[in-house]
Amino acid sequence: MRKWRTNSNEIRVRRDFWPKIRRVLGRIPFAADLIAAYYCALDPATPASAKAIILSALAYFILPVDLVPDFIVVLGFSDDAAVLYMAINKVRQHIRPEHRERAKDFLDKS
């Protein structure tokens, strides 16, 4: 069951992450961490347990319906930020400098 859930989260994240990021980039202050986490989750060197945590948090970010809807000004991304913060703290040692550098490169080009 757990393996299936991780796979479905990975499929959803691979499909929907970049379109969502492009739509909301100017409204989220945690974009660099979010993008670095994305690169970490898809890195083959990242342990499966860390991938599962990150993919779950990213899937929550992508979902159109969540605890606090994203269209609510100021509060819309607060639940997403909290989930991502907890996930990143749990797997911080696996988010390597190259993941952060790729995130920075993306943001510099955007």
φ/ψ of residue 79, rounded to 5? -70, -40
| DSSP letter string, 43-55 | -TTS-HHHHHHHH
Interatomic CA distance for residues 94 and 54, integer angstroms: 10
Rounded mean pLDDT, 1-12: 70
Whether residue 87 contacts residue 16, with contact meaning beta carbons closer than 8 Å, is answered with: no
Task: Write down the pTM of the prediction.
Answer: 0.82
List pLDDT tens digits, range 54-101.
Answer: 999 999 888 866 555 655 555 667 888 888 999 999 999 999 999 999
